[in-house]
Structures are given as C-alpha cells and as structure tokens.
Structure 1
C-alpha cells in the first residue's frame, strides 16, 4: 500500500497546454503509481500550469505549494501513459492510500464493471479501476479503514480480492476440523467475515484449510471458529504432515456409538411393552449426544445467514420431536452423525496425498561442522553448508554433490522409479533416496525453497482452486437451497389450509423436503475428485496447477511439441564417422585438435566423443574461427579445416562425396574435415530422439489424440525426417521463436483444443498462447515450475499420456458424481410428495449419496 499526499499546486493565472503535476514517488517494493480525485467542475477543460513537486527522500509523499489556491486544477496521469489524464482539484491537503489487488472469479468484462461500481460507491473511495484482462484492481482511498473493508465488499459480490504484496505477509493458514461438507466451509467463511478485523477469508473443505488475513490475534480467530462449531489449529503449530484430526474423529465415533446404543435401547424397550415415555427418554438422550455439535453449528450458520445441512437437519430433528416422532428424530440425528463421520474418514484419504508428500523430506540433516558431524533440524541448515547423506537415507535438502557417487531414486520428485546415477557436480533433491554410496552435498536451497517444498505448496494451492464446473455447482447450490427451503415452508402451510390433509402430515413432509434440500453430494462432487486427481498426479511426478487445468487437459485434441530438448535429448552427440582418406584415428585427432578451442555445442560434442575414445590432441597453431562456416588451424605445416559444406565449396574442393548428401538427408549435422585440396572424412552429429518420446507418441495415438505436431527451427528436410522418426502427424519447420505462437494459433483456428509442450523458458509465449501449457523437466528448472499450467517433473514425455488419461478419468467421475447427486435428489423429491418417503430415509439418501460420491472419487488414486 502506498500513501501519498497532494497539495493544491496550480496557478490559475498560468495556463499552458499539456501541463501536469507529478504526485508520486517510487519506493522500495512499491509500484510507481498516481492517484487522482475526481470532482465535477465547469472549468474542467482548462489546462493550467502546475508547479513541480519537490522530492522528499525520507517520505512516501510529495509536497507541492502554489500561490493561488482558488479554483486550481491539475491533470494527473494514470499508470499507463497512453490513458487519458484525470483532472482533479482540492482546497486542502488530502492523504490518499493507493492499493493494488488481484481479483479472482471474474468471468467477463461485465464482472469487472460490477466490482468497479460497487467499490466506487464505498465511502472514502476516490478512484477505482478494475482490469478484467489482467485481473487487477487499482484503488485510491482517503483512509485505511476502507482499504481493509474492500476485500469483504468484493467477497459479498462473489469474487475474491487479494492485496498484492501483503497477502503472504499477513495471511495465515489454519487447519479446520469437523467440517462435514462444502456447506460447512461456506458457513465458516460467512461467520468469519462478520468479524471487524478480518480482511478476507477462504475455507477449502477438500483440504480442510482456512486461509485468512486479519489484524487481530490468533486466539481470537481460533475462538471464533470454535463458536461456529469447528476446531481450528494454526498450520505452523501442527506437526508436519499431521493433517488428520484423529482425536476429533475418535470423539465423534464415540458419540455415534453411544447415541446408537441409546437408540437401540429405546427400540428394544418399545418391543417389550415399556411405556413410550421411557423409550422417548432414550431417544431424546441419543438426539442430544449426536445432535449437540450439528445444532451448535446450525446456530452459527443461521447467524451468518447460511443454510447448510446442519440447519436443515436440526430443523427436521427438532420438528420431528415436536410432533411426537421421537424415534424418527433420533434416527435422523444418528444417521446424520454416522454419515458425517464416514465422510470425514473417507475424504481424509484425499487429503493424505499432501501429507505423504510432506513426509518425504527428513526433518533433520547431518551437517559437517569442521571435523565434526552434527545432527540439526533442516530449518537450521544454511546455504553452502555441507551435509552428509548415508546409503539408504533420504536427502534432506536440495544441493550439489561435492564428494562421492551413488545412484539416487528420484521417484518422489519425477515419478521415475529407476534410480539415476549421480556423481560430483550433479544436483540432488530433497526427499529423494540415496542408494549405495555416501554423499557429501553442498546445500543450494533452504528448507522452504526446495523442489519438494514447492511441489507441496503448488499441490495445496491447486487443490484449493475452483474448477469451472465447481464454480457453476456452487452458484447453483446457493440458489437451489433457499428455493427448496421456501418450497418446504409452502408445503407445510398451503395444503392444510386448503383442506388437503392434516397439519402434522404436511409438516412431516415439509421436514423431509428440508433434509433433501441440502445439496451436499452435489457440492462435493467436483472438489473431492479434483483433490484426488491432483494428489495422484503429484505422486507420479506431474504437477497440475488447478482444477481448471485438470479439466482442460481432458479436452485437448492437438499437442504441439518443441523439438530440441523435448522430442530430442537436447544434447548433440556423434552418431557416425565416415573416413575417405587416412584412418579413423588420424581423422579424429585432426577433429579434436581443430574443435578444441571452440565453444559451439557441436564442437563440444566432437571433443567429448574423442576424449571418450582417448584420442590424442595434436600440436596446432594459427587457430581461426570462420563465422558461419567452421574453424581452421595449421597442423604439421598444413592448414586443415572443420566445417560445413559451404566452407569447402568456397575453398573450391571437388568433388564432394555423395555420402555427404545421403547423410544430410537423414537429418544429421555434417562436420567435414579436410584441407584445401581434399576432404578426408566427415563426422555426423545429431540430437537424437528420446526412446521415451516414441513410446509416448504411440500411447497418445492409441488414446485418440488427433494431432501431434512438431515445432522446429530446422530446415524442411530435417524436420520431415525427425517428424517421421518420432511418429508426428505434422510439423512446422524453419520457425523463429515468435513463429511458434503463430503455429499454435493455426491449430486453434482449425478447431483444435491445443496444448503446447516445451521447456517452460524459451517457449513461454507459445505456452501462454496454447489452451494448456505443459513444461517438462521441471525438477531441474524453477522457471519451468512457475511458467506452465502442467509440469512434467521428469525430463521425458512418458508422463504425458498418463496426465491425459487422468484428466479424462477425472472428468468422467465428476460427471458421474453430478448426475448421481442430481438423480438422488429428483427421486427423493418425487417420493416425498405422495408420502412414500420417511424422514430417516431422506437423511440416508443425502448422507449416503455424499459418501458414495467421495468413494467414487477415490477411484482416481488407483490410476497408475
């Protein structure tokens, strides 16, 4: 947040076209910005000269003074220089606070206008601009109080506003225990928003987390959550990985068992002829034990103006008791509690996907301190410390090997079960398992910055993001539930009034309808499936950054691949050596000598090849680089050359062997070795296609992928050969980096839902243009993790078919969940009106449907 002061600064007697005042100062960590107040005036078209502002290095304000304060006007430019200036006038100094927010949840430009108008109407707000394209909102206000109120105002409109630069500093994460369904999360959100010092709050049922920004103490937050009927624990105070509220579940299970025994005792007494009053005492006791928590939650839900399942069930149970149906009321409460307990235990399976990731990285590390080895917590280890990892142990932090060699199982990061050989200078990652050798590793990242830490953070963020289908269902449920509630009241009152039955009969049917009204199964049909799918993907080395991208992956019909480093290994290697004169050893000696001083990747590959074959280097002089053609050097009095065909054409060497033409047609890069008289031989260098690429392409084809497109800067012949070898359906050759974007657009214009697969850095524009951006090799590239929508942590394409299958499976399960949830409601509603349904069956249909939806979603964990 930036605070600025502007004083009247214009002299009305000095008129000059295009004059302006500068009222902003850029400070560390703050964006340069301008603020203007708008005041109607009949003199707004005048252009008046302004005094220059004086800069104060110790303040965030600019002070200006002018000789004339009456009817003074200034033109203050907005952030973008091409935007029209806003004119303002003041009669006294005014303090402005300028804040920039990110706004999520906007579907179109109309949403931006709605937010803009609503915030503009708030008292003390001077200017507001909402940009739909960038999802940003710029606000200028007179005081901090209104700044704190803005996120809550936006939240009431159905969107989320997050102050840029402050959320990570002020936001806290709490684990919330006791939520039965998505409606519980909404109840907690609404209750917490009634607290004056809470700026914004988001509760995610699927991950059981509450993200809250506030200016009060933590005890108050925990206390308020408890008032709503739930328990909150600050995430940082909970042991790492402990996401399952075991004690709460045990307590809930005990209550369910006790109330079940009381219910069974009451039924048993009624069978042996004991007066109903005594049985009702047992029923009532069972209702109190099982119903205390939901009734308490219902109270706060009503107080927060929310209609969740706790409210509807409590009304039904109390209503049943009022009309003398004590057994029905007790059975309703017991079934509800049992169903809630089973749901919590089932959904914890999806939440454990993050817990399992958290447990991968050790909590302690063996650190070298001089000659001693000391065991310390990973949080106490600093960059450049040397840590010791014994055979069979997990590596605690990211780093670079400085001593030792081993094989490391990187399955926790890349999903690849085959260990990777590691030696000095190789990178290793926290959470991976050291094989047979002892390693000394120089730490390169702190505990909170390791690759596994980023994966955990991304998975949690992704599981908390709403998919389009989830957002639609939430909106539908928010409308559907109140309507059914009103219909239930009408059913209770209207039929008896027109003599279509007794009050008790229709009151009972109205209670049934209330229980059926809560769309618990429908609300959790999407998020539970998304959490399960994203968790499974993370365990298999694929990071999916949200439900929207998970859904999108299942609709992709064309995939474009960058060639170098994606389809191919990205490292040129020597594939063939053809000798025309002398022997192979002599040719390789000349090649090593000529290429030894070149930094070109092809030259390096030749040097590496000759070193591996233990070829000696010769004495040379007069080394020269011939731009665009090759290199030359004098060896034993003769000038030799290594370069392309153009170089030897210029030298006038004839004839060029036909073998060279044949090799070039095979997409090989040809390095010709010779002198100005004859060609001695050629060395072929090529960027080989990965074996995993061919397997992945075949699998994608079998799975029905319509188009597999290769994008490359290579010439037509080379591109055609590589496309055929890698089983592509088409290719685009001779591409500059910006041409890849055009190629993506061509596929989109042809009607294909297009994904782009690249390294996440050079291909960033194409990744952004595609409907889905997929980066590969994220384990070694922080930028790749940040760039794309989906990240394949392993440096190959084998995980791509799995990702597509997982997405399609998730979409199928989401559709099954939605249709099943809707069908159950429709059947229940049809059976209620004729009186063919009972209250306990209504509860069973709701809780049972929710449980089946969760169990169906858990099938996503079985996809390998």
Structure 2
C-alpha cells in the first residue's frame, strides 16, 4: 500500500458552520475513490487527505455546505469576500417572504390565508434548501444529526398546518449557524493573524545585486537586508550589524532583545534600530513561525478529554431525543385522548430543542480560543489534553540549570592543588570542556577566551562523557578528568564543602590519582524564580520540587532562596525520572519543567512536559507538550490560570447547553413548548456557549 506520507494533501476550508457539518465533510471525503483516510481539523478549519484524489473531488464532498478549499501554506489567500446580500441572499429572500406572509392578512387581501401559506412555503424552501438537502440524504442513510432533526421538525410543522412557525424555525436555524460560524472564526483568528506578521517579501542580495523577492522564493543561503523599522521575513543569523529586535510575536517578550553578529533572528520579528545583513538559514515552511502555526493548528484539532466525552454523549443523545419526541407525540393522544395535532406539534418542538449544536461546540470553542490566546503570549500548547491537565496539576518539578537559574554559569573560584601553572590548567580544562555539551562547559571556554588563551591548540583524544559525573580525555599521554569528586581517588573535601555552602557548583580537575585543581562555578538564579514559586503556592499548588544533578549543598542554597518545598540533588537522569513517577503516584498530576533537551525521560514521563526557550530549539518545539517560547518562567502561573479558566468555562458550557434544553423540555408537561421557544432555546444555548468561550481571549499575562 502507498504510504500516507507520500500522498498527503492539506487544504484550508472556508464555510464551516458547525462541528457536525465538519464531521459529515470528513466522512464524505473518507468515502471518495482513492482516499485512504481524511482528517478534518475543525478548530483550525483544515482538512488533511491521505490518498490519490483531486481538490475538486474533495470540494464536491463539501458541496452540501458550500465549502471552499484553498491550498495550505504560510500565506493567507486573499479572496474577495462576497457582499453580505449576495452571500446570504437565500436568507434575505426567506425574510422577504415571511414578511409578506404576515402582512397579507393585515392588508385585507382576498385569499390571504392561502397566499400567506404559499409565502411561508416559499420562505421555507428558499431559506432551508441546503438544510433539507443534507437532512433528506441523512434520513435515507438513517443518520440522525441536527439537520435531520430540523428537517423532520419543519416538514412535520408544515404537515400539521404550522407553516408560519416552520418558516421561522428555518430562518432562526440559519441565523444560528451564521453566528456559530462567526464565533468559531473569531476564535481561530488569533492563529490566522500570526500568518500575517511576517512580510510577504524581502530585500535579498543575489549575484551581487539587490532585489525584492517573495518570501516563498527565498532560499537557504540568501543574504537578506533588513532596515530599521522593517519586519524580518525569514529565520537567519546576523552577518553584519546590530540592533534591538522586538520578538513579541514569537516569544511573547514585551521588551526588545539586543541582537549582534552571530545571533539568530526569527521571521515575523521587528528590527527596531540598526541595519542588519542576515544569512537565511530556513525556508519559509521551516521557520520558527511556520512551526508554531502548524503545531498550534494541530493542537486545536486534538480532542481534549472533555470534548471526547461530549462527542460520545452527543452520539447517544440525539437518538434518545428522537425517541422522547416520538413518545411525546403519540402517548397523550393514544392513552389520554388528547388532540393529535397539539401533541405532534409538541413532539416536533422537542426535536428542535433537542438539537445538539450547543453541546457539540461547547468544548471546541473554549479549547481553540485558549490555545490561540496562549500562542499570542509566546506559549505553545500542543493539544487540548495538555491544556486541561495543566488546570488539574497538583505538583510541579523544576530542573535547576537553565530553568530556575539563568543557565549562563561563570567561573568564580579556582584553587590549585599541585605544581602545574595556572595558565596550563585553564588551557587543559577549556580544551576538555570544548568537547562537552554540558551547560557548564561554556563557563570554562568563556574564561579561557577572556584570558585570550588559544585552548583549541591543546589536542584531546579519546574523549569520554561519564553520565552524571563529568568528562575525560587524553592530553599527551595522560587521561585527565573534570567533574564531580567521585571521579577521583582523593580530594580535599574541606575546600569543596566551603564553596558548596556558598551555593556554587564545584568540580575537580586532574588525573584519576592526582587532583590538580578545584574550580567553582555559579549559575545566577533568575530574578523571577522566587516570585513564580510563590505564585504557584498561592494558587494552591500542593508540591514544588527542584530536581538537579548538582551537589546537595549547592542545590539547597538555591532551593531555599527561591522557596521550593522540596529539593532533590545529585540526581542522574534516570533518578529524576524515578522521582517524577513517585510524585505522580502521590499527587496524580505532575508537570516537569526543563530545557526540552536534557532530562528528556522525566519530561516525557510527566503528566505535562514543559520546555523553556522553545523559540531557540527545534527539539523543544517538537518534543515538549508545552513550550515557553522565551525563558520567562512567569508564563507558568499565567498558563495554569488560563487552563483553570478553560476548564471552568467548558463545565459552564456543558451545563448551559444541557440545562437550557432541559428547562425548555419541561414546558412539554403543561403543553406549553412551542417551535418558537424550541428554536430560541437551541439558538440561545449555542450563542451563550460560544460567547462564554470567547471570554478566554480576555485572560492576559500579568507580567
């Protein structure tokens, strides 16, 4: 069988009016010849088709809803939108005939009853032909969705002579769908707006000439010129110039960041001051901005647990409503001698009020809005499930280096233990650390560079990394080690303990038998770490813990200063994983926050893995459940508040959707439920849940 990846086509969809229609479209496309599978992302208004088919065939499968497809890409296709009167002409015609129908009796026209009925019938046909087309097809297939219910109700109303109410139901249902579509478009707009922040063109130097080139045609290796006040079109590295760049669109940082030669810049960010010459490092579809948009849209399509529950509930809810409506229509006339016309009317009203529109949209509108809000604040949430789990967290585990601290350590002390010259010691240590990927390695290289030392000329052979302990390599004919004191047979523990008491990370350098130097490195604690930990405690977080491979005294000094409730030090990666699992057994839901590269097992095992600095690393974007696009820990309390608000609104929406319908259904008992009340209950519930979901746009980062 041909692989899915080889035949994958993605389109943006215009014209969705409801979640039920999106599900029907997905099913229609899945049944097309040559299609292996199809997945509709209602939150992002996209469809991905796996198989050999054409865009025209896919569009035809959405003809029942008048869906239009455009190619997926980084640029919004600017289509000329039809004027309102043309787009909704069928509704306007329907309103016109309804007005005529009500006016004729008032004007004293002969045969006004017949002409009014004819006008109502015309209003029903013109305003509801799309509804009936889908409804009749569903009836033939015995598929009972909201359009099927509406079709039965309207035909039934006409059958018992309630033409006027049938016409009003058609009109109000159409208006409800328009409003629902508008609300979902509003929720999606936060992501669509991201697509417009990068300029469509850039000034490029090619073959010695300056030229304006469309962003889609810019290649890796091109040189891009960016003037002050211009937005940067592509990801790249600065070759010449320096400036302050506003990265708010990518990282959520409100303060511009200084950029100099060698620094990376992102598409969609604003060059505020200097002239920059930038080497393009990624094509438009691979930029950080493109990845953010893609991942957020994928996240909006992921069903949250509450949405999965609603979908299952709605599957059984609709048939139950049909049975109730049938029983309401026949039991009073059969058992109590009531009038058939009155109770068939009541049964039809039950069908209308039972439409699951509001229930089906109650969760997606909240999830899409919240994920979009987070993205605009520099936080990438990879799915509704993680958004919901954030609000239920009981414990948060932090990596130390680069998370609670700045991750830019500096050498503070060096104590010689032998006769080797200080310059020779630095040269050997920097040469060894040059081969390491550990964050502390940069401290040694920076120190050597500050001393203008050519440490790269010192050759290292057979380099080895000793997990959780340090590194070693052959320099000359001897193997030198640098790392924890456990690598050495004997070390002067007093000096080490004194430095560790000051909160410094201490390493020993030398051969296995002969330590030659003790080096202390300090990683400055973030100014915001204590504030964030305090916020979490005030929000009711039961446990905060720092998990670090650093020494006990260093860890305790930092942990006590910032206020975490528990400190676990001297841990190997597998031990961090073990502690995360233990906390999950104790507290249920635990978040692990790290840099997205180190501590991968602990991040993966936690309920929610949160990576710091996602904008700078592809690994964080791809592997973390949530990525804080800059290194601002203050985003953590904000997303927890956002998640808790989302959970509250989802519960409110489900309660509103079911509660309003139950209240309307209670009117059946005294026989007071009318088609007007039924459609207003359905439309009112739909509007209420969508507007309630959109309240999540108002939740702001408090920084």
Quickly name the TM-score band, shorter chain normalised: 0.7 to 0.9
Q: Is the CA contact (8 Å cut-off) linking 1:178 and 1:248 kept in structure 2?
A: no
- Aligned ranges 1:486-635 → 2 under 5 Å: 486-574=323-411, 594-599=425-430, 600=433, 605=443, 608=446
Cα deviation code 1:506-536 (max 9, x no counterpart)? 1111110111222111111111111111111
CA distance in 2, matches of 1:557, 1:346: 33
| Alignment root-mean-square deviation, CA | 3.7
Tell me, in whole angstroms, the C-alpha distance in 1 between the residues paired with 2:458 and 2:173: 89
> Structure 1 residues 662 and 355 mapped into 2: Cα distance closer, same or farther (>3 Å)?
same
Shift of 1:751: 2.8
Decide which of 650, 663, 666 is 1:827's aligned counterpart: 663
Q: Which moved more, 1:445-454 or 1:269-278?
A: 269-278
SS across alignment from 1:424: coil
Q: Distance in 2 between matches of 1:624 and 1:460?
A: 47
What TM-score comes out, normalization by structure 2 length?
A: 0.87
Evaluate the alpha carbon distance shift between residue 736 and residue 659 of structure 1 in structure 2; reply closer, same or farther with a 3 A threshold: closer
1:241 to 45, 51, 76: 76
Q: Residue 268 of structure 1 aligns with which residue?
A: 103
Partner of 1:724: 560
User: Unmatched 5+ residue regions in structure 1?
Assistant: 2-164, 580-589, 634-641, 674-680
- Are the equivalent residues in 2 in contact too, given 1:542–1:790 (CA < 8 A)? yes
CA pair 244-460 structure 1, distance change in 2 beyond 3 A: farther
Q: Is this contact kept in 1: 2:16–2:65, CA < 8 A? A: no
C-alpha deviation, 1:458, in angstroms: 0.6
Matched residue SS, 1:498: helix
Q: Which residue of 2 aligns with 1:71?
A: none
Question: Shift of residue 611 of structure 1?
Answer: 6.5
Of the candidates 528, 535, 543, which is equivalent to residue 707 of structure 1? 543
Output the TM-score relative to the length of structure 1: 0.71
Structure label with greater radius of gyration: 1
SS at 1:418 equivalent: coil
The partner residue of 1:665 within 479, 501, 511 is 501
The 5 A counterparts of 1:737-756 are 737-756=573-592
In structure 1, how many angstroms separate the alpha carbons of the residues matched to 2:371 and 2:76? 17
- Indicate the residue corresponding to 1:437 in structure 2: 274
Tell me the SS of whatever aligns to 1:750.
Answer: helix
Alignment check: 8 A CA contact 1:383 1:446 kept: yes
Match of 1:31 in 2: none
Residue 770, structure 1, aligned to residue 601, structure 2: no
1:75 corresponds in structure 2 to none
Partner of 2:249: 412
CA deviation vs aligned residue, 1:667-693 (integer Å, no higher than 9, x gap): 1246899xxxxxxx9985301111132
**2:130 aligns to what?**
293
Is 2:671 aligned against 1:840? no
- Single out whichever of 268-277 and 313-322 deviates more from structure 2: 268-277
Contact persistence 1:171–1:213 (CA under 8 A): yes
Instruction: Give the paired residue count.
Output: 672
- Does the CA-based 8 Å contact 2:394-2:587 persist in structure 1? no
Match of 1:378 in 2: 215
> How far apart, CA to CA, are the structure 2 residues paired with 1:781 and 1:686?
24
Match for residue 362 of structure 1 among 172, 184, 199 = 199
Aligned partners of 1:644 and 1:711: how far apart in 2?
17
Note the C-alpha offset of 1:267: 2.1
Alignment-derived partner of residue 478 in structure 2: none
The 1:245/1:666 distance shift into structure 2, 3 A limit, reads farther
SS in structure 2 at match of 1:199: strand
Matched residue, 2:479: none
Question: Any idea what SS the aligned residue of 1:179 has?
Answer: coil
Match of 1:62 in 2: none
Matches within 5 A, 1:455-466: 455-466=292-303
Asked if structure 2 preserves the Cα contact closer than 8 Å seen for 1:336 and 1:847, the reply is yes
Matches within 5 A, 1:52-71: none
Contact 2:55 2:69 survives alignment (8 Å): no
List runs of 5+ in structure 2 lacking aligned partners.
434-438, 465-469, 476-481, 510-516
Post-superposition shift, 1:445? 1.2
Shift of 1:592: 6.0
Shift of 1:503: 1.8
Report if aligned partners of 1:405, 1:423 keep a CA contact under 8 Å in 2: yes
In 1, the alpha carbon distance for the partners of 2:680 and 2:17 equals 15
Deviations 1:323-380 (A, max 9, x none): 2212111111111111111121122101112211111222222211132111112222
Distance in 2 separating the partners of 1:739 and 1:309: 53
Q: CA deviation at 1:663?
A: 4.2
- 1:862 corresponds, among 670, 679, 698, to 698
- 1:797 matched to 2:633? The reply is yes
What secondary structure does 2:528 align onto? Answer: helix
Q: Is the 8 A contact 1:558 1:708 kept in 2?
A: yes
The structural deviation recorded for 1:241 is 2.7
Please give the alpha-carbon distance, in whole angstroms, between the structure 2 residues aligned to 1:841 and 1:605: 72
User: Is the 1:188–1:225 Cα contact (8 Å) retained in structure 2?
Assistant: yes
From 2, 20, 45, the counterpart of 1:183: 20
Per-residue CA deviations over 1:482-516 (Å, capped at 9, x if unaligned) read 12113322332343233531221111111101112
1:174·1:232 contact (CA, 8 Å) conserved in 2? no
Partner of 1:21: none
Decide whether aligned partners of structure 1 residues 629 and 262 sit closer, same or farther in structure 2, where only a CA change above 3 A counts. closer
Tell me the SS of whatever aligns to 2:82.
helix
Task: Tell me if structure 1 keeps the 8 A contact 2:427–2:448.
Answer: no
Per the alignment, do residues 651 and 280 of structure 1 end up closer, same or farther by CA in structure 2, a change over 3 Å counting? closer
SS in 2 for 1:553: helix
The verdict on how the C-alpha distance between 1:498 and 1:392 changes in structure 2, with shifts beyond 3 A counting, is: same
CA separation of 1:524/1:353 partners in 2, compared to 1, >3 Å: closer, same or farther?
Answer: same
Structure whose residues are more often helix by fraction: 2
Tell whether the 8 Å contact from 1:402 to 1:424 is kept in structure 2 after alignment. Answer: yes
Instruction: Tell me what 2:90 maps to.
Output: 255
